[in-house]
Structure formats: structure tokens, C-alpha cells
Amino acid sequence: MSIPSANHQPHTAHRGAAQTPHDAWTEIRRMRDEGRLVAAFPEMCSLVARLDRDGRARAGALLAGLDHDSITAAHPEIPTLTTVVTGNGTSAALRAPLAAEFARHGLALRLTGHGHYFADLGDPQGAAFQTDTELTVCLLDTDAVTQELGAVWTVEDCERALGALASRVRTFATEHDRKGSGVLVLTTVALPTRISRQLVDHRSRARLGRAWREFNSTLLGLGVDLDRCVVIDLDTHLTDAVALDDARLRTYAKVGLSEPLLQRVAEEAAGVAGTLRGRVRKCLVVDLDGTLWDGILGDDGVDGVHAGGSGRGAAFAEFQKVIAQLGSQGVMLAVCSKNEEEQVRQALCGRPAVALGEEDFVAIAANWSPKDLNIVTLTQSLNIGTDSLVFVDDSAFEVGLVRRALPDVGVVELDDEPALHPERLLAGDWFTTLRLTEEDRSRAERYRAEARRTTFRAEFSSHQDYLAELDLEVGVFRPGTEDMARIAQMTQRTNQFNLTTIRMDTAQVAEYDGGADTAVWGIHSADRFGDHGIVGVLFLRTPGDGFVVVENALLSCRVFARGIEDAVLACLLRQAVAEGGRVAVGLYRPTRKNHGFADFYPRHGFRPDDGAQQAEAGDKPSWMPTEDSTVRRYRHDLSALPAVPAHVTMTTLPEGVFHDRRG
């Protein structure tokens, strides 16, 4: 049992407060003894998140034994992914590490499949092609190459074997991209010395090394070119001195990757799963003293704190660059520091800010309030959840406080060795996403524009007066190929205004848009302070009989409270009427986070649909099994239509609700 530390605050005393990894593991086993692992699955997940890698390796064996159906029955709100684990060897060895990593992300793992990649991925009827499969992880190891070789082989034989394997994997992955379901995660195959040293001359070894890397290059190319394929480059993990395999396990049990390496693969695969389920971190909150620079601003002054130059300063400069690099790819950066704000702003405009300046941060919280309170205020001003944040600090006290008070926040604990800061931060792989979009690259600028908007808003006595002066323009359009990744990302990242919370990948969005009776409408907006980019999406189905069904509607939290959603819905209904439509149906599926918009359809004149009407056209959402009873249906008879708000100028609209189909 964890003994609360001396500074433990009574109001946060709950079981999730286990501080050390060892405490968390003890607590998990206590829950096992009480038979509560399934009943308290969410609580157990937050304990797993406290474990270090060793701890998660221990917990994996226990978690892999839990019954998935009981977990989903007890916790329907826990996202579940149907996952195929497959490969050329004993792929089942990945199951325990994967169960632990899923739990760490608060996900439940439903395993399926045969276990061999010929059956699961090479057969069009295989598990990777079943419609409910959302993730397929295919482990390839060196045996996949060597089993193609005879007892005695030449480098030419090995080149042929690598070529044949590359071609097979490319065929499988391409077919999966075309017809498969969900995302395919592949691993590259490492070249161990036990193979290269079987060739006695250096020239042949060089040739083997080249051929092997060309093979891996082909695999990595699949991750570049295919929409539904992610390739994990094992070489990068092996540079962390993780063993490739264990000779005995490989020989006697056909397990081709060591347990620590399987754990790395599981971490990456669970990261992909988390992305698919909207478990995305969006904002990095950094401390300043001892984190971004050497010294204490309050004691040493702006000229007394250092980053850059040589020695420790160089290490802090390096860390600032890593943070700037994350910021350049759409991670929002914020400061949370116990200092005077004026002094912090001075320092961020001065010498200590080597790679990061005041303008790189979307928010600066510099004051003497407890950091957990500052973080909560930050999430409110950015309109994101605490589970979207990662907090970095070199103070064990602050780290402990935030861990206890805000268990959803990702926490990175640094120490007084700044050279280790970058790897400590990057080890968590917090911000990984499937595809980077233009929206990501310009996110920081958009939040700065938002700050200018806030200042502007303060000049008006009412929100309506502010909106009237905002020059808001909204355009609705059919997306092009270049927009699909952003729209898929919105389905994955948006949690609040996401009325049925259906997560999709790029290929699924394109498929939906090209469907015989389905279409995607993108929503774009701009105002006097700048272009917002794509801020919303409607997923529309027109099943016939004059019905249009809004199967999902999304709006970015950046543009809430401006009437954009009202304008777009009003335009849709008007256009439906103009084309002779009879009924509009809106779907809402409650989640933990979208309850703020439960009244969206009723607010616009939609009425709850009763059972008798469900037999009509437009009944079955195309993406949803009919037994999903959590979906609420609302219908509008298109008689009294809502108005487009006066402050919104509509710029573009698609040509038709019913008649603008793509082939």
C-alpha cells in the first residue's frame, strides 16, 4: 500500500494517488486480490499510466488475462479497439505488452485473428479484412528472411529472399489499404550480426547490408505512400541499446523480438490506437527555471539566468530547440511558472530565450498560484481538456502536485541534469499523430489570432455586438483530396462538438465522401483577424424518400459561440427544401465530452424521433450497427426553418444536398 507522503493533501487522497511506480503496482495487485480489476478498470488504467516500463512489463501478463467482454459490459464508455496481432513468428508474445500499453492510454483491447500474417493479412477473408477490425499489428522478424534461405546460402540468395519478402509485404499492405479495415502497423526487420557474420568477406557483408536496408526502405515507403499503413522503424529503438532478440526464445519458442523491443512496438501501436480514438495530447505546458534555462529568474534576474553558450547553457538551449520543434508541428506551447509575469515576459524576449520566445507560447501563466490551478485555468482559456495536456517540470514537488490533483495530465519529471531533458520529454512520444496537416503547422498562429480576438472582444459590452463587428465569413464545400487528412484528423481530435464521435482515418473519409448516398461537407471560416481554415464537417446521408440524415457533425472548439454551426445547419435545411426534401434527421450519441451539445438539434426545431418513425427511410446510419441504442435521433419536418444568423456571411455552398454525387 502506498503511504501518503508528508505533503499529501487530504482532498486529493484517493487510490489514484499512488506516487511511485512500485506503489501503483502494489495497488493494482490489491485490486486483483479484491477481484476488482474489471469493475474498477478505469481506475486501474490510471494506475498503469503511473508504471514505468518495467512495471508495465509486469502488469502486461496480468492485464492480458482480463476478459474483454466483461470490461466493455461494465464500462461502455471505455473505447475499445478490435485488434489483430499477427506476424511470421509467435506474434502472441505481443499480447501482454499491448494489453498494458492500451490500458495506459485508457483503452480496452479486443484481440482477434489467427496470429500468422499469411492467414490474417494475406487472405482477403483474413482478420485484417473483417469490417470490425480497427488495428492490425504485423510483427516481422529475421526468420521471415532466413526461412527463405537454404542451409547454405550466398549473398545473392539473401538478396532474392529480401526481394521476395518485400514484394509480398507490399502486396499485402497495398491490398489492406484498398480493402482492409482500420490501420495496419508494420515493423521493419533488423539485420543482426549473427546473420552478417555468416558471410566471411567484407564485400559480401556490405552488399548484404545494402540489400537489407533497401528492403527496409521499401517497407518504410509503405508508411509514406499508403493511407492506412504505419511502419515502425525498429532501428531507431535498437539505438537505445534494446536487445533485438533472445537466442533461446527465438530458437525454442519462435519469439523473434526481445520483451523490451516488443514493449516498444506495443507503445507505438497503442499510440496509433489512441490517435484513432481521439486520445490526443495537444498542448505542452513548460516550467521555466531549471526547465528552459539555468538559474532562478526571481533570484538571479533576467541577466542571471542562462541558456545557450557552452556547458549547462548548451543543454538548456538544446531542450528549447526540441520544444520549438514540437511547436512548429502544431503542439501548442504554454508556460506555467512561479514568477512575476512581467519579468517572465522580459526574459522570454531576451537572451535566455535562445530558441523560444514569448510569441511561441499560446498562453503564459506566471504567478504564485498553485500550478494545478494555473493548469486548469489554461485548459479553460484554450478550451481543451486536462487530458490534452502534458506538463514538464524539474521540481519533484510540482510534478507530484499536478499528478495528484490532475491525474489526466501527462507528466514529465525532469531533474537537475538538463542534458537528459530532451530524451525524458520525447520518451513519452506524447504528440504523435498519423498525418501532419497544414492546420497543424499554422495552429500556433491561429491561437495568437484568437488572443487578438479576445482583446478585441473586451471592447464590446455584449457578445452580440462583438460578433456583429467580427466580419465572420463561412463557406461550405465538398472536400478535395488535399482536405481528407485534415477532416480525418478532426474526427480523431474533436471531442466536444462531435455529435456522434465517429473516428475515421483518411481513407474512410474519402470512402464516405465517394459513397453512393453519402457525402462529406467541409466548413471553412474566416474573420477580420484571419483565416480559421477547416473548422467543421458534416457527414450527410441521403437514403432516398426525401430524407437527409446528418450522421455526424463536428466543429472545432476554436470557433465555438460564433454561430457557425447555426448558419451551416440553416443553410443545409434551406437547400434540402429547395431541392424538394421532406425530412432532415440529426443524430446525437452522448459521450463523456459532448454533452454540452446534446440540445443542438432540439434548439434548431428538431423533435425527438419516436420508435414508430424508425422504420422509415434514413433509419440505419451507414456506419453504425442497428443495436447501438445510445444514438438519439431528432427529426425536422422542414416547415419552419431556422435562420442564418445576421452576423454570418455565407460565401460558398455545395451545389446540392441530393444531387451532387461523386462516382
Partner 1 sequence: MIDEAEFLELLDEELGLRVTPEDLTCDLDALEGWDSLHLLRLMSALESRTGRGVRLTDVIEATTLGQVLDAVVRDG
Closest distance to partner 1 from the beta carbon of 248 (Å)? 4
Q: Are 368 and 383 in contact (CB under 8 A)?
A: no
Binding mask 96-115 for partner 1 (x = CB under 8 A): x-------------------
Handedness of CA 334, 339, 345, 350 (dihedral sign): negative
What is the C-alpha to C-alpha distance for residues 585 and 618, in angstroms, rounded to an integer?
8
Beta strands in 3-158, from DSSP E residues, in sequence order: 80-87, 108-112, 135-139
Please, which residue, 57 or 326, has the CB nearer to partner 1? Answer: 57
Residues contacting partner 1: total by CB under 8 A? 23
Alpha-helical segments (H) within 106-258: 117-120, 143-146, 155-179, 193-196, 202-225, 234-238, 247-253
Closest distance to partner 1 from the beta carbon of 65 (Å)? 5
Determine the interface stretch with partner 1 among 24-32, 174-182, 292-300, 306-314 (rule: CB under 8 A).
24-32
Verify binding: residue 58, partner 1, rule CB under 8 A: yes
Helices 53-64, 41-50: inter-axial angle, 10-degree rounding: 150
Verify binding: residue 248, partner 1, rule CB under 8 A: yes
Please, which residue, 251 or 626, has the CB nearer to partner 1? Answer: 251
Verify binding: residue 61, partner 1, rule CB under 8 A: yes
Determine the interface stretch with partner 1 among 92-100, 191-199, 513-521, 650-658 (rule: CB under 8 A).
92-100
Among 40, 238, 242, 249, binds partner 1 (CB under 8 A): 249
Closest distance to partner 1 from the beta carbon of 328 (Å)? 41
Determine the interface stretch with partner 1 among 56-64, 287-295, 462-470, 538-546 (rule: CB under 8 A).
56-64
Verify binding: residue 68, partner 1, rule CB under 8 A: no
Determine the interface stretch with partner 1 among 59-67, 273-281, 344-352, 358-366 (rule: CB under 8 A).
59-67
Angle, vertex CA 543, rays to CA 538 and CA 544, nearest 5: 125
329 C-beta neighbours (distance < 10 Å), count: 13
Q: In the sheet that 363-366 helps form, which strands lie side by side, from edge to edge? A: 363-366, 332-337, 283-286, 389-393, 410-413
Verify binding: residue 253, partner 1, rule CB under 8 A: yes
Verify binding: residue 93, partner 1, rule CB under 8 A: yes
According to CB under 8 A, which residues from 30 to 49 bind partner 1?
32-33
Closest distance to partner 1 from the beta carbon of 34 (Å)? 11
Verify binding: residue 64, partner 1, rule CB under 8 A: yes
Please, which residue, 141 or 393, has the CB nearer to partner 1? Answer: 141
Verify binding: residue 65, partner 1, rule CB under 8 A: yes
What is the C-alpha to C-alpha distance for residues 525 and 535, in angstroms, rounded to an integer?
7
Instruction: Find where cell 470512402 sits.
Output: 511
Among 44, 59, 411, 523, binds partner 1 (CB under 8 A): 59
Beta bridge partners of 336: 365
Largest interatomic CA distance in the chain: 85
Contacts of 368 (CB under 8 A, 6+ apart): 338
Determine the interface stretch with partner 1 among 91-99, 226-234, 340-348, 578-586 (rule: CB under 8 A).
91-99
Tell me the C-alpha to C-alpha distance, in Å, between residue 27 and each of 15, 51, 67, 315, 347: 8, 11, 20, 37, 44
Alpha-helical segments (H) within 552-618: 564-578, 600-603
Closest distance to partner 1 from the beta carbon of 93 (Å)? 6
Nearest CA-CA partner of 108 in 65, 78, 73: 78
Among 23, 41, 44, 95, binds partner 1 (CB under 8 A): 95
Nearest CA-CA partner of 389 in 503, 273, 277, 280: 280
Helix (H) or strand (E) holding 184: strand 183-187
Closest distance to partner 1 from the beta carbon of 99 (Å)? 11
Determine the interface stretch with partner 1 among 44-52, 249-257, 372-380, 634-642 (rule: CB under 8 A).
249-257
Closest distance to partner 1 from the beta carbon of 247 (Å)? 10
Closest distance to partner 1 from the beta carbon of 147 (Å)? 21
Q: Are 139 and 91 in contact (CB under 8 A)?
A: yes
Q: Are 550 and 572 in contact (CB under 8 A)?
A: yes
Please, which residue, 164 or 243, has the CB nearer to partner 1? Answer: 243
Q: Which residues form the interface with partner 1 (CB under 8 A)?
A: 28-29, 32-33, 57-59, 61-62, 64-65, 90, 92-93, 95-96, 246, 248-249, 252-253, 255, 259
